[in-house]
Structure 1
Amino acid sequence: MHWLPRSIFWLFGLLIAGVLAAVLAVAVALAMAYPNLPDVSELADYRPKLPLRVYSSEGALLGEFGEERRTLTPIKEIPKVMTDAVLAIEDTRFFEHGGVDYKGMLRAALANLGKVKSQGASTITMQVARNVYLSSEKTYTRKIYEILLTFKLEHTLTKEQILEIYMNQIFLGNRAYGFAAASEAYFGHPLKDITVAEAAMLAGLPKAPSAYNPISNPKRARVRQMYIIDRMEENGFITAEQAKQAREEPLKLRTTSNSTRVHAEYIAEMARQLIFAQYGNDAYTRGLNVYTTLNAGEQEAAYKALREGIMNYERRQKYRGPEKFINLPSNAQEREDAIDDVLANHPDNGDVIAAVVLDASPRKITVARADGEHFDITGDGLKPVESGLSPKAPPNTKIRPGAVIRAVKNAKGSWEATQLPEVEGAFVAMSTQTGAIRALVGGFDFEKNKFNHVTQAWRQPGSSFKPIIYSASLEHGFSPATMINDAPIFFSSAQTGGQPWEPKNYDGTYAGPMTMRTGLNKSKNMISIRLLQAIGAKTGQEWATRFGFEAAKQPAYLTMALGAGSVTPLQMAGAYSVFANGGHRVNPWLIARVTDHKGRVLSEFTPPPVAELPQAIPARNAFLTGTMLNDVARVGTAAKAQATLKRPDLYGKTGTTNDSVDAWFAGYQPTLAAVSWIGYDTPRNLGSRETGGGLSLPIWISFMQHALKGVPVAEVQAPPGVVSMGGDWYYEENARTGGAGSLGMESVAPSEGAGAGGAGATPPPAAEERSRILDLFRN
C-alpha cells in the first residue's frame, strides 16, 4: 500500500488546482464583468423619480401623481429610531462590514443548493445595488453583478449616502417608496413624528410589502413588528422599557375614512392636466410642486356642504334596494370572512359607510362593518329605507340578513340607513377681485364619477340667468322701478317660426303689474320675457358674451330669458363676479406657483389689480343689478340667505329649469362668488317640489357660513352716474327723463296699475318730480 500516500498527494494537488482554477475563472469573470458595470458615481447626487404634488395655497397636500410616491428626505432628517429599526432587521453590522456579509452568503448558498426554500443574505448596500440597477431574480449571475456593484458602491459612496439612498428608494407598498412616503401612507403623519412601534412596523415592510401590510394583513404585520422590536432591544437600539411601551402601543393606521387629507380630487386632477400640458410625462418624475389658489378650509367646507345637500335630497327619494346580497355562513369565522370579502368590493364612500345586515325587522336593523364593528339602526334612522323593510317589499329591494346597505351618521350622531345617490352636484367659489378659485367640488365622489361638473357640465341655468337679461335692459332705458305687467303671453307659430309658445310662471299664477325689482325677487318668467322682447334677443345674446358666456351656447331666442341656453357652474361664478366687482371681467385661474423638488420657483402668476381688468359692463350697471340681487337674498326667493347668515352684504339668484331638471343658486358677497348646482347626469326630473331655493341654496349658505366667518360686512358705494329717488336707484339720465316707465301695460286699466307690484312697491315718480329730486343731489 506504498502507493496510498502518493495517491492522497495527487488528489490533494488536484483539489488545490481545481480551487485555483475556480478562483481564476471567477477572477476572469469578475475582471470581464467589472468594466461593464454601470457608473455609480451619479448616486452621489441621488435623484430618484419624484411624483407631481399638488398643494393648497397654505401648503396642504391635495394630490400626488406618478408611479412612485416618494418624499426625498436627507439622512440627517430621518429620525434615528427609523434607521435603527431598519438596521436591526436588515443589517446590524452595516457600519462595520465592507458591503458583503460572507457568512450570510455562504449560508444562503448552501440552503439553495440543498433545494430548500430560497434564502438571501443581502446587506443594505447589496439591496441598494439591486433596487437601483438590477432585477430581483435569484440567480448566481445576478448575484455576482450585485456583489461587484456592492464593492463599487462602498468604494464610491459613504455609508451615510448609501443608507440615505436605501431609506428613500425602497418600495414599501401602497405606492410608497421610501420611509417618509410610507409614514404618510400608513400613519398619515410626517416621518419626523414616527414612534418606535410605528418604525418597527415600517421596517418590516421591505421583506414583503404586501404580506406585511398593516392595513390589509394586520395579523402578519403585527407578528413581524414584535420580532423587530425584539431585535431592536437585543442590539441595544432601544431599552427594555422602550420595547415594552412599543409592544403595548396601539397603532392608528390611516384609512380612507380617517384620512386627514383635504378632499380636493377634482382640483388636483385639474392641476395635473394643466401641468402635463406644459411638461409632458416629465411632470410625473421631476418632483414638481404645484401650489394652487385653493383655500383648504373653504374646500373642506364646500365638500361637506355639497355632500350634505345631496344626501339630504337622497333621503327624500324612493329606496332602490341593497347593493348586493350574500349568504351568511353559520360558522362565525366563515361569516366574518364572507363579510370582509363582500365589503372589499363595496368600500366606504367618505362618511357613507358600507355594512352587511345581520338581522332586520321594521323596528331595527343590525349590521356589521368591515372593521368588525356591529351597530343597530332604529327609529327615524329607518325612515329612508322603510319600503325595503316592508313585508311586501320585492326580493330585490328587501333588506334582509346578508344584504349590503349604506349608513351615515346624522346630525344627532345616530346611525341612519341610506343609499349612495344617483344625483350629482357641483360647487365652485372664486375671488371676485382676482378670479382665483378658492374651492371647487366637481361631483359627489371623484372615485365614483370623475366627470368634473364644475367645468364640464353644460346645463341650463334657468332663472339664475335672468340677472344677465335684467342687466342688459338697464342699458335700454329700464330701471329697477320700471312697471312691467306679469300677465300671460302667447306667441303664435307665425311669431316663433315654429311651434306656438305660451310660457308660464313657475307656480302657474300671474300677479299683474309690478316693478322690475319685484319681478326678479319673485323670479317671474313673464317679466324676463317682456324685457328680452323689448331689447331684442340679439342684444341680449351680445350682452351675455360680456360676462364670458359663449354666443353659440346662448341662442338668440326669447327662451334665453328663462335660461334655456347652456352654461357651466364655473362660467356662472365668473359672471356673478362681474356684478360683485364693479363690472370687471375676471378669468378664473388655479395655479399660483410651480417649484422643483428643492423649492426653486419655476413659474409664478400674480393677478393684475381688478381696476386694470377689462370693463365688461358699466360700474353703475353692476351696482343697480347688485341692488336687485341683494333684494332677492333679503326678501326674494333666496331670503333664507340673509336670514340664516344674518348679514346684509349677500346677493344672488335661485334657478330652477323646466320640469325641475336643474337646481341652481348663484350668488356672492362682494369679495367671494359661489355657485351650487344639483341635477342628474342624464337629465331628468328632480321632483315636482324640488327647486334651486330648496336644493342648492342650503349648500351655498352652508359654505358661506365658513367662508365669511370673520369677514367684515362690505359696504358697497354707489358709483358715479346713479341716483336714489323714491326708494329706488336710477341711472342719472333716466331719473330726469323717466326712461322706460312701464312695459306690457297696454291692457291694464289706470286704476289697476296704480300701486301694483306687490307689497312695498313704490310707483315711479313723474318726470317733473324726478327732475326736481335730481336737482337736490347736484352741488
Structure 2
Amino acid sequence: MANRKERHQQKKEKRIRPARKKSSQSKLSRSTKISLSILAAILLVVIAGTIFFFQKYGKEVTAAIDAGEEHAAKIQESDFKQYHPTTILDRNGQVLKELKTQERDYITYDKMDPLVSQALISIEDKRFYDHHGVDTQGLLTVALNAATGRGVRGASTITQQLVKNIYLTPEVSISRKIEEMVMAQSLEKKFTKHQILEYYLNNVYFGHGAYGINAAAKVYFGKSINDTSLLEKATLVGITNNPGIFDPTTNKKNALKRAKLILKEMNQQGYITKDQYDKAVADDISAEIHSNALNNQLDNNEVALAVDSTTKILMGQQDFRFQYQFDSKEEEDRYNEEYTTAYNKVYQRILSGGYQISTNIDPALHDQLQGIVSNVMNAWQDINGENNFYTKQAAMTVIDNHTGDVVASIGGRGEEGNHYNRAFLSYRQPGSAIKPLVSYAPAYERGLLESSAVSDDRPNNTYPNNVYNGSKGNLTLRNALAVSSNVVAYKLADENRNELKEPVYQRLSQMQFTGLDVEDDNPIIAVGGMTYGATTQEMASGIATLVNQGNYRAPVNIQTIKRKDNGQEIFSQSEIAQQKVYSDDAAYLTIDTMKAVHQNTDGTAAGLTLAHNQYWAVKTGTTDEAKDLWTVGATPYYTVAVWAGDDTPQPQDNASVGQATKEIFKQTMDLLNDGKEDVDFQMPSSVQKAGGQLVTRSSQTKQVLATRKNALDTATTNIDTLAKQKANELTAAKLSTPMVEEASTFSNQLISERINTLSQFEIIVTDTQDNWQTFDQFAQDVFALVQQVEPSGGTLSEQYTSVYRNKEAEYAHEKAARDSAINTVKDQITDTKNQSKDLDKQISDLKKQLEAVKKDE
C-alpha cells in the first residue's frame, strides 16, 4: 500500500514538474528582460555622461593631467618630513627667528600606536590597502556628479587628501580633482602605504595651530598620541574631517558622535574587538587647549609680516587664485572660506619647518621707528582692562619707492606682550586718505586737469557733507583735495564709474586691497565709507603705486625663500611682477595735487614741514567722529602711512590724535630722508607745462576725441541738411502749384492741404545755410489764400497760425544751437592757438638749449 502511494505521488510530481518548469522559465525570461533593460539604461546613462563629461571638460582634463605629472615629478620625502626648522634672516643674514614645531612633534609610523592609522582608514578610506592612490568608485562618483550637474565632489582616498593638503589649494574643480588623482597615483609608486599614512597623520590640520596628530594630542589632551585612550584617538582622527565642527573643546557633542562612529567602523572592520568597542564608547573625554604645546608665537612685527608674505607667495606657487572683488555676497563668502583654509595650511607648513626666509628687515631701523611711534603716542596712557594694553594705538607702514619693499611694519605702540601687527592685519576706515586713489587718479585718466573746476555744492541729501559744513563754490581739483572736499570726491568717483565703465573700487582691487566687499561699488568709499576698510600696508602700497608711475608692486619684506632640504631658491623678490593700475600722467598729477595739501594755506596739512625735503606729497584722513585718523604721503624715496585710534573704534580728539599721526609721519620722513638729495618726483614725458599748468596726454587725448566728435556731429548735420533739402524740394513743388485766382472756387479743403504741406517744410540753420526766408515766402503765399477765404479769421486762420508759430519756434531753437556751437569752436580754436604758441616756445627753448650744449662741446 505504501509503495502504491509512493508511486502515485511520484506520478503526480512528474505531472506537476513540467508545468513548474515552464512557469519558472517564463518568470526568468521576464526578469532577464527587465534586468537587461535596466542595465542597458544604466549603460546609456554612463555612456551619455561620459560623452558629456569629455565634451565639456576634455581640455581641462588634458591640461590637469599634464600639470599633475609635472608636479608629481617634483615630489620628494622632505615635502612631508622636515628635519630642518624654518629660519627667518634679517638683511645682514642674521637669524631673527627659528621655528621648530614639526621637528619636535613628528612621529614615525613604526613608533605610532597602530590603532591611530586603523581609525583613520576605517572612516576615511576602507579600501586603502586595495587601491593605488585612486578609488575607482570615487572616480565614478566624481564623473557622475559632474555629468548630472552636482559639482565635482566625490570620495577622496587618504593619498589624495595628502596630495591636496601638501600641494594643492582647496579649489573645487574638475581640473584640480584630476591633478590630485594623477599626483596620488605617482605618490603610491614612490612610497609605501605605511609611509603615506605616516605623512598624512603628521601633516593634516587639527585646528588651533596643530599640524600632525602628535601635536594635536598635546594641544587638546596635554599628552603624546600614544598616551591617549582609544576614545581620544578616535576623537582626534575625527577632527580631520572638519576642525571647526568636530573641535572637542567647543563642540564636544559633535566630536564624540563622530568618534563613536569611527569606533563602530573599527569594530565592524575587525580592527578592535567588541569588548574594546564597548569600553571605549562608555569612556569620556576632557579636552582643553594647552597653549604651551606649540611654540608658534611670532612676537616680532617684522617677522610676522615676513611669514605672512611668505605664506601668500607659496599660496601663489600652488596656483591659489587670489580674488579681490566679487559679484555677490555668496561668492565672497565662498572665497573667504577657501582663502582661510589655504592660508592656514601653508602658514602652518612654514612654521613646521623646511624654509630659509631672507628678508630686508633692519632691526636697528625698526627699533628707531618703533621708538618714534611709542614716544609720540606716549601722551595717552589709558589702559584696556581686558588685556592691559594701551587703549589708544597706532600703526605705520614704510615702503621703499625704488624697490617697492616694505621697509618697516610697526604694528602698535610696542608694549610688552602686544604682538598684534595692526599694520597689515587691522582694517580701518581710511577716511579722506583714500581720495587720491579712488577719485583723483581715475579722474585724471579721464582727461581732467588740476585746474578743472567742480562744484562743491551738494545736489541732494545722498551726497556726504563737507567737513567744513558748507560749500566753497566751484573748486579746482587741486584746491578740492587740499581742503578735502567730500562732495567733489564723491562726484568724481561717481563720474569715474559712469565714464570708465568700471566699479568704483576697481583700482583698489588691482592693488590687492583685501578688505573689499560687494557693497563697496559705491561712490561713498571715496570719503572712506568702506564696509571693512584698509590697512596701513595697503594705503602705503597705493600711494607708492602713484610714485611708481602708476605701477603696483606687491608689498613684501622678503628677498628670497629657499628650501632647506636641497638649497633650492623657490622665490626671489626680483620675480615680483608690476601691474599697471594708473597711467603715468594720472599718477604724476595725483602726486602733484597732493602737494597742495601742505602747500596751500587752507590745506588740511598746512604748516606741516619736512626737514630735508621740499618736494613731497601728503593726504590726511578723518572718519566720522574722528574714530580713525590718518596721515599718508611720500617723498621720491619713501612712502609712509600712519593710523591712530582705538582698537575698538571710538571717537577721538582730532586736534591731538590727528596731529600725532602728522608728527609720526614727519619724524619718520626726517629720519629716512636725512642725507638724501632733495629731488622732485620724476615727471613722465606724457606731462608738460603749458599756460602755467600741467597738461597731460590724457587731457590732450580728450581734446582730440572732442574735436573728432565735433567733426562727426558736423558730418551728421550735413547729411541731415541734405535730407531736409530734398524734403523741402518736394514741399516747394506742392506749394508752387498754380493757384486758382478766384477764391470762391478755391475750396477750404485745398487750402487746408496747403497748410499741412507748409508744416512739412524742414528748417535748416547751419554756419553756411539759413532757409527761413524761403519758408517765410511760401508761408506768405498760403496766408494770402487764407485771407481770401476767411477775411475775418476762422478755422483755417487758426490752423495756419499754429503751423507758422511752431516753425518760428523751431527756427529760434536751431539758430541758438548754431550760435552756441560756433562759440564753442571759437573757444577751442583760441585754446589750440594758445597751446600751439606754448609748444612753439618750448620747442624754441629746447633748440636754444641744444645750440648752447653744442657750443659748450
Tell me the TM-score normalised to structure 1 length: 0.47
Higher helix share: 2
Where relative contact order (Cα < 8 A, 6+ residues apart) is larger, the structure is: 1
Q: Which has the larger radius of gyration?
A: 2
